[in-house]
């Protein structure tokens, strides 16, 4: 039985997934990390949790997080980031510029690729770097 909480795709399998497919799974991984982070830091009301989660996962915030991580990414990680950043999206949310949305999609593709490779320790390391003041 496949354990969907701990994936272990090889590079061939990950590369077979579209850029936006990687961003799709990475979006969910990133949101789960943000929700866990907020719950772990004492956020208690549902309304506040939702508000703060939205602030962290919206494209402008993700773009800033991506900028913060770029200097520490490996070449392989940068390649996944670029795949997402260069994906051809059909619409940009009204709260983001096209450049912010591209960077956010790159971050999500990176997190998606790392998740599918089973590299949750690296995801956690990168997430901690992002959340540092």
Residues recognised as catalytic: 27
DSSP per-residue codes, 85-119: HT---S---TTS-HHHHHHHHHHHHHHHHHHHTT-
Answer whether 30's CB lies under 8 Å from 57's CB.
yes
Q: At what angle do helices 46-57 and 19-40 cross, to 10 degrees?
A: 140
């Amino acid at each position: 039985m496949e354990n969907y909480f701990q994936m272990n795709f090889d590079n061939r399998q990950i590369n077979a997934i579209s850029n936006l497919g990687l961003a799709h799974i990475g979006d969910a991984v990133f949101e789960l990390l943000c929700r866990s982070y907020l719950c772990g830091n004492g956020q208690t009301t549902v309304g506040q949790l939702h508000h703060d989660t939205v602030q962290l996962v919206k494209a402008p915030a993700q773009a800033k997080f991506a900028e913060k991580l770029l200097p520490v990414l490996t070449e392989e990680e940068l390649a996944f980031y670029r795949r997402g950043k260069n994906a051809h999206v059909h619409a940009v949310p009204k709260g983001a510029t096209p450049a912010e949305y591209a960077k956010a999609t790159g971050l999500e593709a990176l997190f998606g690729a790392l998740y599918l490779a089973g590299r949750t320790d690296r995801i956690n390391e990168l997430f901690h770097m992002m959340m540092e003041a």
